[in-house]
Amino acid sequence: MDLKENLTAVTQAQFGRLPDACTDRQLYHALLALTQKLAADRPAPQGGRKLYYFSAEFLMGKLLSNNLLALGLFEETRSLLEDMGRSLAAIEECEPEPSLGNGGLGRLAACFLDSIAALDLPGDGVGLNYHYGLFRQKFACRKQQEQPDPWIEPESWLLDTGRRYTVPFGGFELEAVLYDMAVPGANGGTANRLHLFDVPDPADPPANGIDFDKRDVAHCLTSFLYPDDSDRDGQLLRVYQQYFMVSAGAQMILDELAERGFGPGDLGDRVAIQINDTHPSMVIPELIRLLTAGGMSFDDAAAQVEKSCAYTNHTILAEALEKWPLEYIQTVAPQLVPIIQELDRRARQRSGDSRVAILDEWGRVHMAHMDIHFGHSVNGVAALHTEILKNSELKPFYDLYPEKFNNKTNGVTFRRWLQACDPALSAWITDRIGDGWKKDAAELEKLLPCADDAGSLAGLLEVKQHNKRRLQRMLARRQGVEVDENSIFDIQVKRLHEYKRQQMNALWVIFKYLEIKSGRRPARPITVLFGAKAAPAYTMAKHIIHLILCLQALTESDPEVRPWLRVVMVENYNVSWAEALIPACDISEQISLASKEASGTSNMKFMANGAVTLGTMDGANVEIAELVGPENIYTFGASSDEVIGLYAGGGYHPLEHYHRPGVEYLVDFLISPELMSIGDPGVLTALWRDMKHKDWFMALLDVESYIARKEQALAEYEDRTAWARKMLVNIAKSGYFSSDRTIAQYNDEIWRLR
Ligand SMILES: *Cc1c(COP(=O)(O)O)cnc(C)c1O
């Protein structure tokens, strides 16, 4: 294919002009049309068994570069545009980013689709087409505000398939409109699909923030991901969303099975279904309902479904394991109630332990329990997480079904998270070891001998500097702040949650601020970057954002401190921000309370881009530490066993830690005149009180060892060659965290697609 000829044909047809004369936006639309057509022309990969990956979230990010890369056109397009004096990056700025996810779980689903296609496996995603995404974050008066995030333009990656399904709700029916996005495989010459269901007549964006009439299910079902569920209408709407997704998805699966020439009795052999967290769990009773309605016995239907379905657990935070009142299901999908009751009866027959029942004494349905009893596999997402599931959280289930439990350590796609987001580092790697690593990330290990090559190490530091300048320009353009490219970039970007402990990082900022105020300057300036959205109803998380924004204002306005310490919180952290921040990072903050972060995936992205981790022994940090060795990571803090022991024995008393001399003055700074005059005194006081008296995620337990370790990392950064060696080892050992490896394991051990 001649790229230039093809592009010219499109711009001529669409805009009546040559590519040179097009605006960036026109070029974006021309490239969109071209790549979309090339992807759509690709056949679906073939196989005896087909996978459907069900997920409430797919945090896809922008797709132009990704799809060009998969189609093998990335480099060619970049140089063609460069010859025209244009830049692919500038053109991609015109692409709206679909915000169909919340954080790691949704981004994992997107990485998985990329890897499934790259491995040429037949597997599609199934989800919902939220029109206004999660929300767009704005800062006003140092607080988070939420706005709708409309991302669907008349021309987008969505293709109307013409397929429609009818979803039977209690008292009314709703048509499900099926849109597809092509997911081209990087190596296969084939394309899978992401299936997104939508309502036929979606509501306009709400006039006022993200508030809308949650009872208007027919129009608002696909307005937002995770609409506010602090009241009954909001909770019901979530159940409507879930049932809509799985009912339409289940009907589509049975249709496709028939189109492939199989009958319902072949479901278990021909279809694999992965249930990503509990949001899609109702696919189990829904498939049983559809199969029995077609004449199959309940026993046979349950057996078929069990052979197909597998469940991924993403969290041990109890509040995140969904339990819906059966009464809600009676309202939303009454036809499922007798099926769920029968599944509960069967579960109780298998075990007399009431902890593994599906229906509890309050009439709530434990969605995960349904998945574990009536699916064939349960997996955790990092080695430590899976052990915790087996030994504590899901122990009664593990005793009952040891053979169902397995680990699949998460991964990320190196095509997006190294090749596309860090072209400079990719070129540096390829110069040293050739480009085999692009197909097999394990080949990055070939970099290890370069640890003794001064030229390579100097080159690596130059790449990092280049990426820091790139981020510096982006921060200037988007946020109006000028950061110092020669400062250390210390970055914590992830959803805001108390267990992730952004508040502990804020205590370090206070520590460093007070050090500088008392004349102890660091060896080199430090820039602390944050990015995080808080769930709109999560008060404490919003308080922490307020604290960070107050610290930002405080350090920015202090001429004594500003040259040495900067705090920048980026607005509306999303995939595009991540792609600019991660390649520029020196120190990767992965400081969750041990046992609480199931895996984490940004830790892997940072590692692959040559950042050094400062982290607790939690989630996949444990595996990173094993791979790189103690001299190439900074770990600290209580172990997961210690933390689990403290929770079990009620042995954590924050006041005891607060009264330590190294801690009290940091916590009390929250209510200092300096900070109270900048921020909202009510919020800062509430935060201060919570930290002293509750501190549910034990920031005060680890804060001293955190500060000590961070000081060590900052000091060791000054030996630039030794630091470059740490960067190199991290990159070289990161191949294990390619989602291609993760997906190969899912396929070998759970899906068996071929
Ligand atoms: C990778 C990623 C995440 C997950 O980050 P964690 O630190 O693992 O929680 C969240 N949001 C975005 C935009 C990401 O790219």
pLDDT of residue 379: 98
Amino acid at 406: N
Structure tokens at 669: 């700074």
Q: In testing the pocket of ligand 1, which one of 412, 421, 494 has its CB within 8 Å of the most ligand atoms?
A: 494
- Decide if pLDDT at 319 tops 80: no
Give dist(CA 544, CA 547) in Å, integer: 5
pLDDT of residue 1: 76
User: What is the band of 684 on the pLDDT scale with cuts at 50, 70, 90?
Assistant: very high
DSSP string covering 413-439: -HIIIIIIT-HHHHHHHHHHH-SGGGT
Q: What is the pLDDT of residues 286-314, one digit of tens each?
A: 999 999 999 999 999 999 999 999 999 99
Q: In testing the pocket of ligand 1, which one of 572, 579, 602 has its CB within 8 Å of the most ligand atoms?
A: 602
Take atom 15 of ligand 1 and give the residue whose Cα is closest: 575
DSSP string covering 139-171: EETTEEEEE------SSSS-EEEEEEEEEEETT
Measured over the CA atoms of residue 216, residue 222, residue 224 and residue 226, the dihedral's sign is positive
Q: What is the pLDDT of residues 27-46, one digit of tens each?
A: 999 999 999 999 988 999 98
Q: Which is the closest atom of ligand 1 to the Cα of 577?
A: 13
Give dist(CA 459, CA 481) in Å, integer: 28
Q: Which helix (H) or strand (E) holds 194?
A: strand 191-198
- Helices 661-668 + 699-716 axis angle, to 10: 100
Structure tokens at 527: 């820039």
Strand duo 271-276 + 191-198: pairing: unpaired
When pLDDT is averaged across residues 676-700 and rounded to a whole number, the result is: 98
Name the residue with tokens 């070029």.
27
How far does residue 132's CA lie from ligand 1's centre (Å)?
Answer: 20
pLDDT of residue 314: 96
Torsional class of 552: left (φ above 0), alpha (ψ -120 to 50), beta (otherwise): alpha
In sequence order, what are the residues at sequence separation of 6 or more whose Cβ sits closer than 8 angstroms to the Cβ of residue 82?
none
Distances from the Cα of 408 to the Cαs of 49, 218, 492, 719, in angstroms? 20, 38, 25, 37
Q: What is the pLDDT of residues 47-88, one digit of tens each?
A: 889 999 999 999 999 999 999 999 999 989 999 999 999 999
Q: What is the pLDDT of residues 84-107, one digit of tens each?
A: 999 998 999 999 999 899 899 999
User: What is the band of 388 on the pLDDT scale with cuts at 50, 70, 90?
Assistant: very high
How far does residue 468's CA lie from ligand 1's centre (Å)?
Answer: 20
How far does residue 573's CA lie from ligand 1's centre (Å)?
Answer: 9
Positions marked catalytic = 314, 494-495, 500, 601, 605
Ligand 1 contacts (CB < 6 A) are: 103-104, 107, 494-495, 574-575, 578, 600-602, 605
Nearest to 322 by CA among 338, 331, 311, 333: 311
Q: Which is the closest atom of ligand 1 to the Cα of 601?
A: 8
Take atom 3 of ligand 1 and give the residue whose Cα is closest: 104
- Decide if pLDDT at 563 tops 90: yes
Q: In testing the pocket of ligand 1, which one of 225, 317, 493, 613 has its CB within 8 Å of the most ligand atoms?
A: 493
How far does residue 517's CA lie from ligand 1's centre (Å)?
Answer: 34
How far does residue 37's CA lie from ligand 1's centre (Å)?
Answer: 30
- Decide if pLDDT at 360 tops 90: yes
pLDDT of residue 47: 82
**Mean of per-residue pLDDT scores for the chain:** 96
How far does residue 16's CA lie from ligand 1's centre (Å)?
Answer: 41
Q: What is the pLDDT of residues 152-185, one digit of tens each?
A: 999 999 999 999 999 999 999 999 999 999 999 9
Distances from the Cα of 521 to the Cαs of 517, 560, 706, in angstroms? 8, 10, 19
Q: Which is the closest atom of ligand 1 to the Cα of 493?
A: 7
Say which DSSP state 309 is in: E
Give dist(CA 25, CA 29) in Å, integer: 6
When pLDDT is averaged across residues 648-662 and rounded to a whole number, the result is: 96
Cβ neighbours of 3 (radius 10 Å): 15
Give dist(CA 297, CA 629) in Å, integer: 55
Alpha helices in 557-601 (DSSP H): 575-581
Cβ neighbours of 61 (radius 10 Å): 24
Q: What is the pLDDT of residues 141-159, one digit of tens each?
A: 999 999 999 999 999 999 9
- Decide if pLDDT at 526 tops 90: yes
* Intra-chain end-to-end CA distance of the chain, in Å: 32
- Percent of the chain, pLDDT > 90? 95
* pLDDT, greater one: 315 or 505: 505
Counting Cα atoms < 13 Å in the Cβ hemisphere of 310 gives: 26
Amino acid at 386: T
Give dist(CA 65, CA 582) in Å, integer: 17
Strand duo 123-128 + 136-140: pairing: unpaired
**Can you name the residues that pair with 359 across neighbouring β-strands?**
365
- Helices 283-293 + 232-259 axis angle, to 10: 50
Name the residue with tokens 């940072």.
606
Counting Cα atoms < 13 Å in the Cβ hemisphere of 385 gives: 27
Take atom 11 of ligand 1 and give the residue whose Cα is closest: 103
- Decide if pLDDT at 187 tops 90: no
When pLDDT is averaged across residues 198-204 and rounded to a whole number, the result is: 97
Q: What is the pLDDT of residues 713-739, one digit of tens each?
A: 999 999 999 999 999 999 999 999 999
- Decide if pLDDT at 320 tops 80: no
In sequence order, what are the residues at sequence separation of 6 or more whose Cβ sits closer than 8 angstroms to the Cβ of residue 127?
54, 55, 56, 57, 58, 100, 109, 194, 195, 196, 197, 245
Structure tokens at 612: 């050094």
**173 three-state secondary structure:** strand
Give dist(CA 88, CA 38) in Å, integer: 19
In sequence order, what are the residues at sequence separation of 6 or more whose Cβ sits closer than 8 angstroms to the Cβ of residue 444?
429, 433, 437, 731, 732, 733, 734, 735
User: What is the band of 227 on the pLDDT scale with cuts at 50, 70, 90?
Assistant: confident
Q: Which is the closest atom of ligand 1 to the Cα of 599?
A: 8
User: What is the band of 265 on the pLDDT scale with cuts at 50, 70, 90?
Assistant: very high
When pLDDT is averaged across residues 548-571 and rounded to a whole number, the result is: 98
pLDDT of residue 207: 86
- Decide if pLDDT at 622 tops 90: yes
Give dist(CA 430, CA 426) in Å, integer: 6
